[in-house]
């Protein structure tokens, strides 16, 4: 089971709409994600366009997965005067609370074309299993 929480996401969105604070180096919007179960694993994909692979950090502590990424300004020449700067820069951060049924020791991460994809296997103890039923003469229990 995967639980997500970002209590300030809606507040940030409203603040940006009202105050127009979506300029350079403001707090960027939360990184959009998709999460789904595929067979015996959960897949989570984060959109991180323009982020260098070495600027991404993943940590798991007590079933809390933290993704941090930094979008840095593109290098420009000395004689460049920026006319429009709408792409947010700075540090993006997102936390997911992973259920006890997921195997956090075997998370796989892959980054390609601005998308960070995590594959989180379902823990062996959470997978369905068959229970053998014994048969034959049953012993009676004296009460």
Q: Which fold has domain 2-73+85-126?
A: Immunoglobulin-like (2.60.40)
Cα–Cα dist 21/1, whole Å: 35
Domain ranges of the chain: 2-73+85-126
For 8-59, what is each residue's pLDDT tens digit? 656 665 665 555 544 444 454 568 999 999 999 999 999 999 899 999 999 9
The pLDDT confidence band at residue 3, using thresholds 50, 70 and 90, is: low
The pLDDT confidence band at residue 134, using thresholds 50, 70 and 90, is: confident
For 83-96, what is each residue's pLDDT tens digit? 887 888 889 899 99
H/E run at residue 10: helix 9-19
- Res. 73: pLDDT tops 50: yes
Q: Which residue did the predictor score with more confidence, 131 or 142?
A: 131
Q: Which residue did the predictor score with more confidence, 86 or 112?
A: 112
Cα–Cα dist 122/38, whole Å: 10
């Amino acid at each position: 089971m995967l639980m997500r929480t970002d209590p300030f996401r809606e507040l940030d969105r409203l603040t940006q709409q009202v105050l127009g604070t979506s300029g350079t180096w403001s707090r960027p919007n939360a990184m959009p994600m998709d999460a789904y179960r595929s067979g015996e694993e959960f897949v989570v994909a984060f959109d991180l366009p323009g982020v260098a692979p070495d600027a991404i950090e993943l940590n798991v502590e007590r079933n809390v997965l933290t993704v941090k990424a930094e979008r840095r300004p593109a290098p420009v020449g000395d004689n460049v005067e920026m006319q429009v700067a709408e792409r947010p820069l700075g540090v993006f951060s997102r936390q997911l609370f992973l259920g006890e049924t997921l195997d956090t020791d075997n998370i796989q991460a892959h980054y390609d074309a601005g998308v960070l994809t995590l594959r989180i296997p379902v823990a062996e103890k959470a997978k369905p299993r068959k229970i053998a039923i014994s048969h034959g003469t049953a012993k009676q229990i004296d009460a």
